[in-house]
Structure 1
Amino acid sequence: MKMQMRQWGMLSMTALIALSLSACGSGNKASTAGGSTAATTAPNAASTQPVKLRIVWWGSQARHDATLKALDAYTKKHPNVTFEPEFSGFDGYADKLATQAAAKNAPDIIQMDPAWLSEYAGRNQLADLSKGIHTEDIDKSLVDSGKYKDKLYAIPLGNNATGMIYNKNAVDKLGITPPKNNWTWDEYFQFGKDAKAKLEKDKYVLMDATSDYTVYTAYQLSQGKGYPITEDGKFNIDKDTYLTFVKKYAELRTAGVIPPAEIATTDKESDAKLDLMNNDNVFMKRTFAALLPGYEAVKPNVYSLVNQPKGVQSSGWLKPSMFWSVSADSKYAEESKKFIDWFVNDSEAADILTTTRGVPVSKKMLEYLTPKLTPADKMQIELIKNVAPDAQPFNAGAKGWSNYTAKDFKTIGEKVMFGKVTPEAAYDELVKKAKEYQ
C-alpha cells in the first residue's frame, strides 16, 4: 500500500512537470467557435428541465469569487441550471456538512476533503461517480484517490503539496536570511528566534503548531516514526516525539517567537482578516500550495513558499487538494455530474478558476493554462516539484478518525497552550481518547 501511495505522488508529478515544460513551447489548443475548449459530452445526458443545484465549498475570498463566477458562466451555457451556493472558510465547514448529511439534507454538490472521503462513502452518503464524468485526462492514480472500495465517489480538483508560506517582504525588512528548501527543524526554530530578536514586541514570527495535527504529522514523519494514525486506523503518536514537539513550542511561546494562546487560537485559516498571516500577527505558517491564491488576493506579491523542514526523513507529501462529490440524496445527480465534468474539463472554467483549487488535474487544461499562469501560480507548481522527489506516502486518513485528528488533537493541544495540562498529561489524554476510535 505504501508503494501505491508513493506512486500516486510521483506519477502526478511526472505528468505535471512534463506538461509544464511542453505547454510553454506550444500555442496549440483545440477550441470551439467561441474559443472554449469543449468538454466531451457526458455519457448520461442530463435533463433540460429547470434545476436548482445546491453546492457547498470552503476556501478564501479568491476561491469564493472565482467559483461564483464559474457558476454564473455555467448558467449562461445551461439556462435551465441555477445554483444555490453555500460557502465559508474552513472552520466550521466539516461540522455543518456532517450535520446536513446526517439529516439527509446535504447539498447536491459537495467540496470534499480527502480525509473525510472514506467516512462519507462508507456511510453511503455519496453518489457513485464512475459514469458521467470524463477522467481520461487525469492521471489514473489521482483518479483512484477518489475511490472507496473500488467505486469512484470523488473527482479530484487540483494537485497539492504541503509547505510553509512566509512574508518575504518582512524577511527582507528584518535583514535575515530567507528560508531555503531542505532546511531542518532546528534551522526552522532558529529562524524564528533570529527573526524575533529583530521584531517589534507585539509581533510574532511563527504560528503555534501545538494543536495543529498537520504540522505534528509532518514532524513525526520527519523523525521516521510514521503517521500518527496509521492508514488502517491504529494509534501511532510516538510519546517521545510528541513531548519534544510540544515542549519546543512551549519554549518558543515563552520567548515570544509564537503568539500567546489567546492570540494563536483566533487564527482562521484563509480568512482575509482573521488569518494571522493576513493580519500580520505572524509571518510564517504551514500551508498547502493550493491556498496561495487566497493569500495573494489579500496581499499581492508579498508571500513565498518553501518546503517543510526535514528531520532524518522529509516531512512533506503530495495530495489531491480537494474533491467534488455528489450527495447520495441528491435528486439531480446527473445534472451535478454534468456540472463537475464542465468544471474540470472545460477551458472556460479553467480560465475562471485558474489555480484557486490547486494546479489543475486535467492534463489538457494544465497545458491550456500554462502560458497564462501568474508568478504565484508558478510558485504552486514549484513547491509541488520540490516536494515530489522525497515526498512521504500520502495517507488520506483512516475511516472513523476524522473527529480525532480534526477536533480532539486540537482541543487537547489548546489545553497545553493555555497551561491547563502538562505535555505529559496531554499525551495520556490523547492515548485515552484514541481508545474511543479503535
Structure 2
Amino acid sequence: MMNKQIKRWGLLSVTALTAVSLAACGANTKPNEAGQASGDAAAGGDKPVKLRIVWWGSQARHDATLKALDAYTKKHPNVTFEPEFSGFDGYADKLATQAAAKNAPDIIQMDPAWLAEYSARNQLADLSQGINTADIDKSLVDSGKYKDKLYAIPLGNNATGMVFNKNAVDKLGITPPANGWTWDQYFQFGKDAKAKLEKDKYALMDATNDYTVYSSYQISQGKGYPITVDGKFNIDKDTYLTFVKKYADLRKDGIVPPPDIATTDKESDAKMDLMNNDTVLMKRSFAALFPGYEGVKPGAYTLVTQPKGAQSSGFLKPSMFWSVSADSKNVEASKKFIDWFVNDQEAADILTTTRGVPVSKKVLEYLTPKLTAADKLQIELIKNVAPDAQPFNPGAKGWSNYTAKDFKDIGEKVMFGKITPEAAYDELVKKAKDYQ
C-alpha cells in the first residue's frame, strides 16, 4: 500500500476535438488492450522503488490520484509513492526551489507555461522512449517538446472558460451567461447580478491582478498576447488602462470584492476559493478544473465560454503534463508509471476527467459511456471554444516569474489604491526590462 504519510503543501487540436466528438456520439471501438498490456509490463522487476510525486489541484483530483497510486502499488507491490499535493497557490515557487536544489520529486505535474524554462535549464528527463504516445494526438504530444525532445506527457485536453453558479443565478431571476457573449455583456451581467445580491456577495472576480484574464482580454481586442511567444513585451498601454480602470469602477460599485477579500482567493481550495465559499457568482476557469467545483457543490455549477471582443478570447491547451526530474534516480520506473497513467483502463476508471478530457483516444472511447453530465460539460466547453480559438501561447522562456508574480503584485497595488493605473503600467514596463 501507498505510504500514508502524505505531505501537503501550498499550487486540441481539430484532430483531438474530432476524437472527442466521435466518442461522445458513441463510437464503437474495442477497449484499450494495448494500454492494459503496457500497465502489466510496468512491474519491471521486484526491486523496491519509492517514487516522489507532486501535483496541484482540487480535492477531487487529490482523491482520485491517491486512489490511482494505490491501484498501481497493488499491481506492482515493489513500487510505492511519496505524494506531495496542494492547491495551485504556492506550487510554482516551491517546485522552482526544489528543482534549483536538485531535490525535485521524481514525477512532477508540470504546467505548459513553465515547460520551456525547466527544459532549457536541463531540469527534466527526456521521455522520448518508454511511454506509449501512439494514441495521443500529435499536436498534444508535440506540446510537451522543447527543441525536438519530449520532456512532458500531456494529461488532458483543456480550454479556457468561465465557471458560474447556475443555481444561484436562477434564484436571482437574471438571464444567465451564454456561449459567444461579449465583454460588454459580461460586465452588464455583473451589474444586473449585484443589484439582487446581498451586501457581502459579489458577482464577478477582480481580474486587475490576473494575467490570464488580462491576456485573454488583450488578445480579444486584436492586440496579441501581452508577452509574445518569442519573449517580447507587448502589453498595450491603452488596452491595459481601459481594463484596469473598468475594474476600478467595478470595485467602486461593489460588483467585484474589495481587495482585502479578492486577494484571499485560493483557486480550487474547497473553502478559500471565492466561488466555493459563495463570495462570487463567477470566475475565470479551465475545463479541467470543473470536477473540483463539481465535487464541492454537485450540480451547482456550469461552464460558459470567455467573453469576446473584436475577436474571441478563448484558447485550447494541454491541461497539464507529467514530467520527470532530470535528477531522479528512478527515471525508468517513473516512465512506466506515466505510461500506465495515460494508457490504462483501470487508471481511466479512477481518474475520469480530473485532469481534463483524457488524451488517449482509445481511453476516451472506452471511458465516454461512463462519463457523468459534469464530465461532459468539459467536453462541451472544449467543443464551443474550438471553432475560433486563439493560438495557444505556452509561455515565453524566462518570463514565468513576470506573468505569475510581477503582474500580480503590481495589480494588487492598484487594487489597494497604492498606485494609479498609469503608474502600474510604467512599473510593468520597467520590470519587463529585467526579462528582456
- Contact residue 43 and residue 132 of structure 1 kept, 8 A: no
Q: Corresponding residue for 2:20?
A: 16
Matches within 5 A, 1:208-357: 208-357=206-355
Deviation at 1:281, TM superposition (A): 0.4
Deviation at 1:90, TM superposition (A): 0.3
Task: Give the Cα separation in 2 of the matches to 1:360 and 1:336.
Answer: 19
Q: Deviations over 1:404-436 (max 9, x none)?
A: 000000000000000000000000000000000
Q: Corresponding residue for 1:3?
A: none
Matches within 5 A, 1:386-405: 386-405=384-403
- Secondary structure of residue in 1 paired with 2:189: helix
Counterpart AA for 2:64: A
Counterpart AA for 2:383: K
- Secondary structure of residue in 2 paired with 1:40: helix
1:60 partnered with 2:38: no
- Contact residue 204 and residue 257 of structure 1 kept, 8 A: yes
Gaps of 5+ in 2: 1-11
Aligned pair in 2 of structure 1 residues 30, 323: CA closer, same or farther (>3 Å)?
closer
Deviation at 1:220, TM superposition (A): 0.3
| Alignment partner of 1:382 out of 377, 380, 383 | 380
Counterpart AA for 1:368: Y
Task: Give the Cα separation in 1 of the matches to 2:123 and 2:238.
Answer: 39
- Contact residue 39 and residue 344 of structure 2 kept, 8 A: no
Deviation at 1:164, TM superposition (A): 0.2
Matches within 5 A, 1:26-37: 26=28, 28-29=30-31
- Contact residue 42 and residue 338 of structure 1 kept, 8 A: no
| Alignment partner of 1:79 out of 68, 77, 82 | 77
- Secondary structure of residue in 1 paired with 2:327: coil
1:200 partnered with 2:202: no
- Secondary structure of residue in 1 paired with 2:323: strand
Task: Give the Cα separation in 1 of the matches to 2:354 and 2:57.
Answer: 9
Normalized against structure 1, the TM-score is what?
A: 0.95
- Contact residue 45 and residue 334 of structure 1 kept, 8 A: no
Counterpart AA for 1:16: V
Aligned pair in 2 of structure 1 residues 13, 398: CA closer, same or farther (>3 Å)?
same
Task: Give the Cα separation in 1 of the matches to 2:53 and 2:294.
Answer: 25
Q: Corresponding residue for 2:3?
A: none
- Contact residue 32 and residue 363 of structure 2 kept, 8 A: no
Task: Give the Cα separation in 2 of the matches to 1:44 and 1:335.
Answer: 8
Counterpart AA for 2:94: K
- Secondary structure of residue in 2 paired with 1:276: coil
- Secondary structure of residue in 1 paired with 2:339: helix
| Alignment partner of 2:434 out of 422, 433, 436 | 436
Counterpart AA for 1:207: M
Aligned pair in 2 of structure 1 residues 42, 206: CA closer, same or farther (>3 Å)?
same
- Contact residue 43 and residue 131 of structure 1 kept, 8 A: no
Counterpart AA for 2:24: S
Task: Give the Cα separation in 2 of the matches to 1:39 and 1:225.
Answer: 49
- Secondary structure of residue in 1 paired with 2:164: strand
Task: Give the Cα separation in 2 of the matches to 1:297 and 1:336.
Answer: 29
Q: Corresponding residue for 1:149?
A: 147
Q: Deviations over 1:175-203 (max 9, x none)?
A: 00000011000000000001101111111
1:118 partnered with 2:116: yes
Q: Deviations over 1:161-186 (max 9, x none)?
A: 00000000110000000000110000
Task: Give the Cα separation in 2 of the matches to 1:417 and 1:9.
Answer: 37
- Contact residue 20 and residue 366 of structure 1 kept, 8 A: no
- Contact residue 163 and residue 306 of structure 1 kept, 8 A: yes
Deviation at 1:43, TM superposition (A): 9.1
1:178 partnered with 2:176: yes
Q: Corresponding residue for 2:9?
A: none
Task: Give the Cα separation in 2 of the matches to 1:404 and 1:325.
Answer: 23
- Contact residue 39 and residue 342 of structure 1 kept, 8 A: no
Q: Corresponding residue for 2:412?
A: 414
- Secondary structure of residue in 1 paired with 2:77: coil
The worse-fitting range, judged by mean Cα deviation, of 303-312 and 12-21 is: 12-21
Q: Corresponding residue for 1:158?
A: 156
Counterpart AA for 1:152: L
The alignment-based identity, stated in percent, is 82
Task: Give the Cα separation in 1 of the matches to 2:351 and 2:46.
Answer: 25
Aligned pair in 2 of structure 1 residues 91, 30: CA closer, same or farther (>3 Å)?
closer
Deviation at 1:21, TM superposition (A): 2.0
Deviation at 1:52, TM superposition (A): 0.2
Gaps of 5+ in 1: 1-7
Aligned-residue RMSD, C-alpha: 1.4
- Contact residue 306 and residue 314 of structure 2 kept, 8 A: yes
